[in-house]
Amino acid sequence: MGKVFVKSFGCQMNLSDAERVVGLLGEDGYGPTPEVAEADLLLVNTCAIRERSEDKLFSLLGEWRQLKREKPDMVIAVMGCVAQAMKDEIRRRNPAVDVVVGTHNFHELPELVAEVRRTRQPITRIGRLRDAIPDDMPTRREGGLHAWVPVIYGCSYFCTYCIVPYTRGPYQSREPDAIVREVEGLVAEGYREVTLLGQTVDRYGRELPEPTSLSALLRRLHAIEGLWRIRFLTSHPLDLDEDLVSTVAELPKVMEYFHVPIQAGCDRVLAEMKRGYTVAQYLEMVAMIRRIVPDATITGDLIVGFPGETDEDFEGTLALLDKVDFDLNNTAAYSPRPWTPAAKREDQVEDVIKAERLQRLNEKVTEGSHRNTRRQVGSVQEVLVEGPSSRNAAILTGRTRGNRVCYFPGGPEWVGRLVQVRITEARSFTLRGELLVPAPSLA
Ligand code: SAH
Ligand code: SF4
Ligand code: F3S
3-state secondary structure (DSSP) of residue 13: helix
3-state secondary structure (DSSP) of residue 80: strand
Asked if residues 167 and 145 have their Cβ atoms less than 8 Å apart, the reply is no
Centre of ligand 3 from the C-alpha of residue 410, in Å: 37
What amino acid occupies position 283? L
What amino acid occupies position 166? Y
Cis-peptide, bond into residue 234, ω within 30° of zero: yes
Taking residue 312's Cβ as centre, other Cβ atoms within 10 Å add up to 8
Question: For atom 5 of ligand 2, which residue has the closest CA?
Answer: 157
Provide the β-strand partners of residue 80.
46
CA dist 149 and 12 (Å) reads 9
pLDDT band at residue 442 using 50, 70 and 90 as cut-offs: low
Cα dist from 157 to 17, 238, 259, 273, 278, whole Å: 22, 10, 17, 11, 16
CA dist 435 and 90 (Å) reads 51
Mean pLDDT within 31-52: 96
Characterise 423 by phi-psi region: left (phi > 0), alpha (psi -120 to 50), beta (else).
beta
Question: For atom 4 of ligand 1, which residue has the closest CA?
Answer: 199
CA dist 58 and 11 (Å) reads 18
Q: The whole model's pTM is what?
A: 0.97
Q: Is the pLDDT of residue 175 over 70?
A: yes
Q: What is the helix (H) or strand (E) element at residue 232, kind and residue range?
A: strand 229-233
CA dist 402 and 295 (Å) reads 9
Q: What is the helix (H) or strand (E) element at residue 41, kind and residue range?
A: strand 41-46
For the stretch 75-134, pLDDT in tens is 999 999 999 999 889 999 999 999 999 999 999 999 999 999 999 999 999 999 999 999
Displacement of CA 36 from its chain's centroid (Å): 24
Q: What confidence score (pLDDT) does residue 139 get?
A: 93
Q: What is the DSSP secondary structure assignment for residue 263, as one 8-state letter? A: B
Asked if residues 181 and 139 have their Cβ atoms less than 8 Å apart, the reply is no
For the stretch 381-422, pLDDT in tens is 999 999 999 999 999 999 999 999 999 999 999 999 999 999
Q: What is the helix (H) or strand (E) element at residue 57, kind and residue range?
A: helix 51-70
Cis-peptide, bond into residue 438, ω within 30° of zero: yes
Provide the β-strand partners of residue 395.
409
Mean pLDDT within 183-187: 97
Ligand nearest to the CA of 273: 2
Q: What confidence score (pLDDT) does residue 439 get?
A: 67
For the stretch 194-217, pLDDT in tens is 999 999 999 999 999 999 999 999
Residues 6+ apart with CB under 8 A from 193: 145, 146, 147, 227, 228, 229, 230, 231, 384
pLDDT band at residue 143 using 50, 70 and 90 as cut-offs: confident
Displacement of CA 111 from its chain's centroid (Å): 28
Centre of ligand 1 from the C-alpha of residue 166, in Å: 13
Question: For atom 1 of ligand 2, which residue has the closest CA?
Answer: 162
Mean pLDDT within 344-363: 98
CA dist 262 and 276 (Å) reads 11
Provide the β-strand partners of residue 43.
6, 77
Residues 6+ apart with CB under 8 A from 403: 231, 255, 257, 297, 299, 327
- Ligand 3 within 6 A of CB of 49: yes
Q: What confidence score (pLDDT) does residue 441 get?
A: 62
For Cα atoms 86, 92, 98, give the angle at the middle one, nearest 5 degrees. Answer: 85
* Residue 70 CA neighbour count, 13 Å, CB half: 8
Sketch out the chain's domains with CATH numbers. 2-125 (3.40.50.2300), 146-375 (3.80.30.20), 380-435 (2.40.50.140)
Centre of ligand 1 from the C-alpha of residue 317, in Å: 15
Atom of ligand 1 nearest to the CA of 342: 22
